[in-house]
Structure 1
Amino acid sequence: MRTLRPLAALAATAALLLTGACSASKSPGGQTPSGFTPPRVPMRQSLGAGEGSVDVVAWAGYVEYGQDSKTVDWVTPFTKATGCKVNLKVAGTSDEMVALMKTGQYDTVSASGDATLRLIAGGDVAPVNTKLVPNYATVYPGLKNQPWNSVGGVPYGIPHGRGANLLMYNTAKVTPAPTSWGAVFDPNSPYKGHLTAYDDPIYIADAALYLMKTKPSLGIRNPYALTADQLNAAVTLLKDQKPNVNAYWSDYTKEQASFDSGDFWLGTTWEVIQQAVAADGKVKTAAILPSEGSTGWSDTWMVSAHAQHPNCAYEWMNYIVSPSVNAQVAEYFGEAPANSQACGYIKDNPNFCADYHANDESWWRNVYYWNTPTRNCVDGSGRNDCTDYAQWVTAWNEIKS
C-alpha cells in the first residue's frame, strides 16, 4: 500500500514548478477545473504497434504478476494479449514517483493527487487522448476532468480508483460513538495516548478541513488552498493534537496491528484498514465519514512526456481500467474501482462495492480529494497568496519535531 513520507529535497523543486499553477476548487456537488498553462507537450493522436514492453511506476498492489500470490496475476494476460512485457518499479511515496518520472526512464505512473500537478507543471507527463482509451467511456463521471487529473478541460490521465480518509475507532473504548473530527482534535481528549494520525504533510489538509467547517471566520474555502494565516491555524491545531497522539502512521499494516493490539483507539484510516481489522476479529471497530466530510485520494494513470513505449503505455491504461481488471485490482488493493461496470466483476466479496461506496456519488461529494498546494490558490479564487507544498513540508516537520 502507499506510504507517503515526503522527501524534503524535492519540496523546493515542487514549489518552483508549481508557482503560478492554479486549479479549481473541490466542493460538494462538483468541481470545475480551470487552469494554469502547462509546458507544451504533444498529445498522442493515434496508436501503432506495441513496442514489446512498457516501464511502469506504481503503488504496491496495482501491478501484480503472481509475485506475491500465484492466484493474483493480471499482468500475464495483458502481456499475452498485447505482446507488451511489463517492467515494474514499485514506488513507496508520491515524491519518489515524481523523482522517477523526471528521469524519463518510465512510460506510465499511477500517481496520486498530491503528485499529479507537480508532474503536469514540470512537463513530465503528456495530455492523454481519451479517444485512444476505449474503457475511459465507462469510468465514473465524477472522476473525470478533475483538478488533479486535468488542466483547462484537457485530461492528463485515466482515473484508476479512489478512497477516503475515514475516522476509525474502537467501539469498546470510545464512547459515545464520535460523529466529528473534533474527537481527534480535542486537546483535552479522554483518549490521550491512544490517538493516531496520518504521517504526511498532506494531513495538514485534514486539520484545515475541520477548521473550514467549524471556524468559518478563518475564510478557508478549500483545505488545499491555505494562506499563511490559515496554514498557521492548522499547524496550531495539529501541535495541540500531538501530545495526544500515540504514533503517526504511514504503513497501513502497522496501523492495523496497532488497532489489533489496543494501542490505537481512535484516528484517521482507510476503508481497507478497517476491513482488515474487522477480519482479524481481535477488537471491534467502526469507521465513519464524519460530519465535516473527509480528505481522500484518487489515483490516475499518466503517460510520460518522454515515453519510449507510448503504444504499450496506452494499451496498459486501457487494460488496467477495463471493468474486469479494475475489479481485480480494487478488490485486491482495497479501494473503490474507477470503472462504473467493475462491480459486476467482483468475485470474492458480494458486499465489496457497498462497503467501499463505489456507486454512491452522493457519499463522495463530501470527500475532498488530495491536491497539491500551490502558491496560486487551488480554490478557484484566482488569488496567488496561498502556501505551497514546500511550506507544508516545512510546517509538517515543525509539527513533528
Structure 2
Amino acid sequence: MRHNGRWRTAILAAGVLTLAACGGGADKGGGSGPGGLTVPKIDKLASLGAGEGSVNIVSWAGYVEDGTTDKAVDWVTPFEKETGCQVNNKVAATSDEMVTLMKTGEYDVVSASGDASLRLIYGGDVAPVNTSLLSSYQDVFDGLKNKVWNSVDGVAYGLPHGRGANVLMYRKDTVNPPPTSWAAVFDPNSPYKGKITAYDSPIYIADAALYLMKTKPDLGIKNPYALDDKQFEAAVSLLKEQNKAIGEYWSDYTKEVQAFKAGNSVLGTSWQVIVNLAQADKAPVDAVLPTEGATGWSDTWMISSKAKHPNCGYLWMNYIVSPKANAQVAEWFGEAPSNRLACEQTAAKDHCKTFHADDESYLDQVWYWTTPLARCVDGRTDVTCKDYAAWTQAWTTIKG
C-alpha cells in the first residue's frame, strides 16, 4: 500500500454559522455548545433496519476508494457485497463545499473536518449518532470521543475517522541546530529568511495563537481557536512579521515535497505524510512536534439529519471505521487511524507508530482544527471572539 497523502488543497473556506435558536435534550441532540450556543433537537436513529440499497456520500478524495484510482485500492466493493448498499460518492475539495452539499439534503453521510463539523451541527444539517448501533465506536481511541468538534454536551454527532498533527519539518543539512520550538519559524532575524514555508489557510492563524499561548501567557489565550480582539491582533501581528521571512505558502502537499527536495524551502509547518514522502524521495528532512505542541486535524463521519438512506449510512460509517477498512484508508490517505484495532491490520507494521496513532501523550499536545466562533469556543461569555469570517479577512491582509 502506498501513501497518497493528504489529498486536499486549501482545506478551509470562509463561512459563517447559521445558528438555530432551539433548546435541546440529550436524547435528541441539542443543548448548549461553546459559549452557550444551541443546536436544534434532532432525533437519532433508534434502531438499525434493512439497508435501503444505496448510500450517498460526501468525502475527501482518498476516503472512498473503489479501485478506480488504483486497482489494488478498493474497500468499497467489499462493503457493497456485504451490505447490498451501492455507494455513490461525491468528492469535495473544501470544507465549505461539504457544508453546502450537506445542506441540500441529497447526501446521507459526510467525512467532515473540525471546521465543517461545527457548522453542520449548529446548522441542523447532521443528526446525533446512536453509538450503540455502531460496534466500531467502542474501539475508537478515547482521545477522539466527545470532543468539541464532534459532540455537544456529551452527545456524539459522528464517528471519528482519522487524525494528524501539523509538525515542524526541516532540512537536516541546512537547519542547525535542529529546531525544537515554533520560534524557528517566527524569528524575525532567522538565517533561513526566504526559505521558510507556512500553510496557506486562515486556520494557520491558530498556529501563531498557539505559539503565543505558550510564550506570552499575559495574553491569556487558553484555546488557539478562541481569540478576543487583543489576542487576535497579537496573532495577526506575529504573522505579518513572519510574512517577511516566508518564501512561499503551501496548500498542495506535492509542491511542499518538491520545495524541500529542491532546497527552496528548508523550514516550516507540514504533515507527517509529507515528511514520509520527502524522505522517500531522498530529501534530507526530518520533523518534530515542537515543545509548544501543534495544531492538527481530526475527521468525523457524520450522518445527515435528512438522510434518505439512514440504515445504509450507519452501515457505511460502521464499516469504514472497522479495523481492516480503517487501516486501509489510513495507509492510503496518510493519517493515524481512529480505531485502535486498525493498528494490527496495517500492511506497514510501523504505520501507527509513524503516525502516533496510539501515542496519547503525543496527541494530547495537538489542538485540532475547530471553527472559530463569535461566541468563544473556550467557554468565555464576557467577551466576543473573532469568528471565521474575521479570520479569513485577516489572512488576506497577512499575506499582503
Q: Structure 2 length normalisation: TM-score?
A: 0.93
Residue identity matched to 2:234: A
Q: Distance in 1 between matches of 2:141 and 2:13?
A: 33
Q: Distance in 2 between matches of 1:264 and 1:38?
A: 44
1:70 corresponds in structure 2 to 71
Q: Which runs of 5+ in 2 are unaligned?
A: 1-6, 24-32
Q: Distance in 2 between matches of 1:162 and 1:209?
A: 18
The correspondence for 1:17, drawn from 16, 19, 37, is 19
Q: Is the 8 A contact 1:34 1:147 kept in 2?
A: no
The correspondence for 1:4, drawn from 10, 13, 35, is 10
Q: Is the 8 A contact 1:272 1:335 kept in 2?
A: yes
Note the C-alpha offset of 1:2. Answer: 2.1
Query: Do residues 336 (structure 1) and 336 (structure 2) align?
Result: yes
Query: Do residues 49 (structure 1) and 50 (structure 2) align?
Result: yes
Aligned 1:122-141 pairs, distance under 5 A? 122-141=123-142
Query: Do residues 291 (structure 1) and 291 (structure 2) align?
Result: yes
1:345 corresponds in structure 2 to 345
2:113 corresponds in structure 1 to 112
Note the C-alpha offset of 1:389. Answer: 1.0
Residue identity matched to 1:133: L
Query: Do residues 372 (structure 1) and 371 (structure 2) align?
Result: yes
**Could you list the per-position Cα deviations for residues 25-44 of structure 1 after superposition, in whole angstroms to 9, with x for gaps in the alignment?**
xxxxxxx9896320122111
1:216 corresponds in structure 2 to 217
**Cα 1:203–1:123 shift into 2, 3 Å:** same
Identity of aligned residues (%): 62
Residue identity matched to 1:191: Y
Q: Structure 1 length normalisation: TM-score?
A: 0.93
Note the C-alpha offset of 1:272. Answer: 0.4
Q: Distance in 1 between matches of 2:98 and 2:253?
A: 19
Residue identity matched to 1:38: V
1:388 corresponds in structure 2 to 387
Residue identity matched to 2:73: V
DSSP 3-state at the match of 1:146: coil
1:84 corresponds in structure 2 to 85
Q: Distance in 1 between matches of 2:292 and 2:22?
A: 30
**Could you list the per-position Cα deviations for residues 343-386 of structure 1 after superposition, in whole angstroms to 9, with x for gaps in the alignment?**
11011x22111111111111111111111111111113344411
Aligned 1:198-213 pairs, distance under 5 A? 198-213=199-214
Q: Distance in 2 between matches of 1:16 and 1:395?
A: 21
Q: Distance in 2 between matches of 1:254 and 1:247?
A: 10
1:237 corresponds in structure 2 to 238
Q: RMSD between aligned alpha carbons?
A: 1.8
Aligned 1:134-213 pairs, distance under 5 A? 134-213=135-214
Q: Which runs of 5+ in 1 are unaligned?
A: 22-31
Q: Is the 8 A contact 2:18 2:122 kept in 1?
A: no
Residue identity matched to 1:239: K
1:400 corresponds in structure 2 to 399
**Could you list the per-position Cα deviations for residues 208-258 of structure 1 after superposition, in whole angstroms to 9, with x for gaps in the alignment?**
000000011111111000001111110111111112111111111111111
2:252 corresponds in structure 1 to 251
Q: Is the 8 A contact 2:21 2:40 kept in 1?
A: no
**Could you list the per-position Cα deviations for residues 99-152 of structure 1 after superposition, in whole angstroms to 9, with x for gaps in the alignment?**
111111111100011111111011110000111111111100110011000001
Note the C-alpha offset of 1:397. Answer: 1.4
Q: Is the 8 A contact 2:12 2:94 kept in 1?
A: yes
